[in-house]
Chains A and B, each alone.
Chain A
């Protein structure tokens, strides 16, 4: 059963289509990744799902309820972890969680239990009485999550929850997402970090310029770009000579060449058959190879293949 269903959803800002006829169905119990570069329309889509923005066209159903017709019922089923920290610095961690809990109708003993539960889940039990102003960035991010899950929502929407934090907190958050999913919540996870989405999501939709350009499981998406491999070569003697790069670009079996300082990425149908040619070109122009790596196609490759740009462009 679909917990979220978007049909032909459109959103315009000043006549510019920010979300362009998006159709997607998110099944109950899955972790659904929404991957795309900054400005792709992910946050706008999230805002419309949460009832924060009204679509200019199309319909959004959450748990079978129309967001437009029954916004309050829909909001009770959702827990939003915003991209920006949304906390009251003058209130303690427990007071922050409790305030939002009350807005979801929790009271008395139940509220107290849920606050403790949410703080324990995010590893902040011992910081319950401290104010977020004394927290590290990672702890604030975890508290940001605690404020969204204390009412045990059916659908948790996380909008880039790992922006700007240390690897340890990032891993903690990713593990938390998996645990929340195991506890029964459906998760929509937006990110422009391909690795995160690959690590935790059951299905992924890739967004660009307001469109969903690909949607499926990681395996399904990989298969779409299985015809192309990537060779990453790192130079051992500074930037590569322009003549060397020109010859690589002119090679008929190499689809694209991308250079980044001392590294060159080559996209081609088969690395095995062309590797000898590539090494010959390097030798011919005096190129020194420090390392060479053949990579299997990933979501980044798929995005590049579909848009001609990288996720971080």
Chain B
């Protein structure tokens, strides 16, 4: 055991003395999280609710008398519109358009002459909308008046089919359901009722990508001993192959764990990245990812003759898996749930995002089992190849 610690300490000493390792391990992930999170905040994640400011709507009664359009006038007074629109009676179309241009109004509605009469008679009648400068105001006011026209169309249809007497009954039936019960039930699509931001998404993605990259340290270390001939000398010392193997794994694993802690803590402190409500499970997934990346690199290193070849393969797999799991840019669901299933990142990424959204344990455990299985299989394969293929000077 003492030799394992001695070798691990030696690995740590050498890695911490390498400026490039320090920059790539601790600084680069944070810079990438910041850049990607800031640059792609509009295309990633579920946006939070926006507050709606009431829209000042100019209402122009073309006939000059609001009583000719009592349906519209009554609708304007209904309390459900409070907070959404502020109706302002305007004397003319020109005055309304002028108000729209100078920002006095956000929207305008032109009510045709004899509106009520035409509705009652089942004749065609149209409200004219004049859009303002603000798209949100246009959307809000447009939605309100579209709903109003929907109700009017319903009433007209009743009149045409059943006669004028039916209009009263139809008006009652068209009363908003809100008075009785909620027509729309708000679901919890994220299961935790929260959304994730671009920074969260890329923090998780970069964390996993850099953990997968920690495999490069393993291949670098294994080939480094060969290249500097220290493996030959180590072979002549009373150190077993097993001690050398686990010493290296431990040393590089500690650096990867520190990298992981740095990314999680600093991304939280600097960019406000929220990592979810299950820190122990997060740590477990990270440790599994470290085991996966290191054992994968050991297997590659055992079968490659040069460091360049081994690094090329590890790099290719890391970038490829990060991309296919949606870690570089969110991919369509059908991709993520087909090709993405064959990547190491997918299972951990999916879990971390779910933890960020406060998903239940039952949704996380399947991923945990899959990650554990991958780690176990790769560990077995790494030990087998280390013993069979050998690690010799």
Find chain B residues with CB under 8 A from A124 CB.
none
Find chain A residues with CB under 8 A from B6 CB.
99, 102-103
- Tell me the minimal C-beta distance from B25 to chain A in angstroms: 16
The residues in A between 34 and 60 inclusive whose CB is less than 8 angstroms from any CB of B are 50-52
B232 touches A84 (CB 8 A): yes
Contact with A along B3-36 (1 / 0, CB 8 A): 1001000100110011000000000000000000
In the complex, A253 has a CB within 8 A of chain B? no
Interface-lining segment among A74-82, A174-182, A197-205, A207-215: A74-82
User: Could you say which of A50, A76, A88 has the most chain B C-beta atoms within 10 Å of its C-beta?
Assistant: A88
Closest residue of A by beta carbon distance from B392: A52
- Complex alpha-carbon distance, A111 and B393, angstroms: 27
B228 touches A100 (CB 8 A): no
Q: Tell me how many residues of B have a C-beta within 8 Å of chain A.
A: 22
User: Could you say which of B3, B6, B239 has the most chain A C-beta atoms within 10 Å of its C-beta?
Assistant: B6
Interface-lining segment among A2-10, A89-97, A164-172, A183-191: A89-97
In the complex, B163 has a CB within 8 A of chain A? no
A104 touches B238 (CB 8 A): yes
- Complex alpha-carbon distance, A148 and B237, angstroms: 9
- Complex alpha-carbon distance, A89 and B227, angstroms: 12
- Tell me the minimal C-beta distance from B172 to chain A in angstroms: 86
B236 touches A90 (CB 8 A): no
The residues in B between 365 and 393 inclusive whose CB is less than 8 angstroms from any CB of A are 392-393
Find chain A residues with CB under 8 A from B17 CB.
90-91
Cross-chain contact of B14 among A73, A88, A147 (Cβ < 8 A) = A88
- Tell me the minimal C-beta distance from A22 to chain B in angstroms: 19
A80 touches B14 (CB 8 A): no
Q: Given A72-B240, A104-B238: A90 and B232 within 8 A (CB)? A: no
The residues in A between 124 and 164 inclusive whose CB is less than 8 angstroms from any CB of B are 147-148
Cross-chain contact of A52 among B10, B228, B232, B238 (Cβ < 8 A) = B232
- Tell me the minimal C-beta distance from A148 to chain B in angstroms: 8
- Tell me the minimal C-beta distance from B220 to chain A in angstroms: 12
Cross-chain contact of A78 among B18, B234, B236, B240 (Cβ < 8 A) = B236
A86 touches B18 (CB 8 A): no
Cross-chain contact of B236 among A52, A85, A99, A105 (Cβ < 8 A) = A52
Q: Chain A contact residues (Cβ within 8 angstroms of B): what range? A: 20 to 34
B238 touches A80 (CB 8 A): no
A52 touches B393 (CB 8 A): yes
In the complex, B337 has a CB within 8 A of chain A? no
Find chain A residues with CB under 8 A from B18 CB.
90
Closest residue of A by beta carbon distance from B234: A103
B13 touches A91 (CB 8 A): yes
A103 touches B230 (CB 8 A): no
- Complex alpha-carbon distance, A100 and B232, angstroms: 12
- Complex alpha-carbon distance, A99 and B239, angstroms: 12
- Tell me the minimal C-beta distance from B369 to chain A in angstroms: 39
- Complex alpha-carbon distance, A104 and B238, angstroms: 6
Closest residue of B by beta carbon distance from A72: B238
B238 touches A85 (CB 8 A): no
- Complex alpha-carbon distance, A90 and B240, angstroms: 24
Q: Given A102-B6, A103-B239: A82 and B14 within 8 A (CB)? A: no
- Tell me the minimal C-beta distance from A159 to chain B in angstroms: 10
Find chain B residues with CB under 8 A from A75 CB.
236-238
In the complex, A194 has a CB within 8 A of chain B? no
Find chain A residues with CB under 8 A from B235 CB.
50-52
Find chain B residues with CB under 8 A from A91 CB.
13-14, 17
B228 touches A147 (CB 8 A): no
- Complex alpha-carbon distance, A84 and B238, angstroms: 20
Contact with A along B223-247 (1 / 0, CB 8 A): 0000011101111111110000000
- Tell me the minimal C-beta distance from A282 to chain B in angstroms: 51
Closest 3 CB pairs of A and B: A80-B236, A86-B233, A84-B229
| 5 pairs, CB–CB < 8 Å, chain A vs chain B | A82-B232, A86-B233, A90-B13, A91-B17, A100-B237
What 6 new A-B contacts, CB under 8 Å, besides A85-B228, A85-B229, A90-B17? Answer: A51-B236, A52-B232, A78-B236, A90-B13, A102-B2, A102-B3
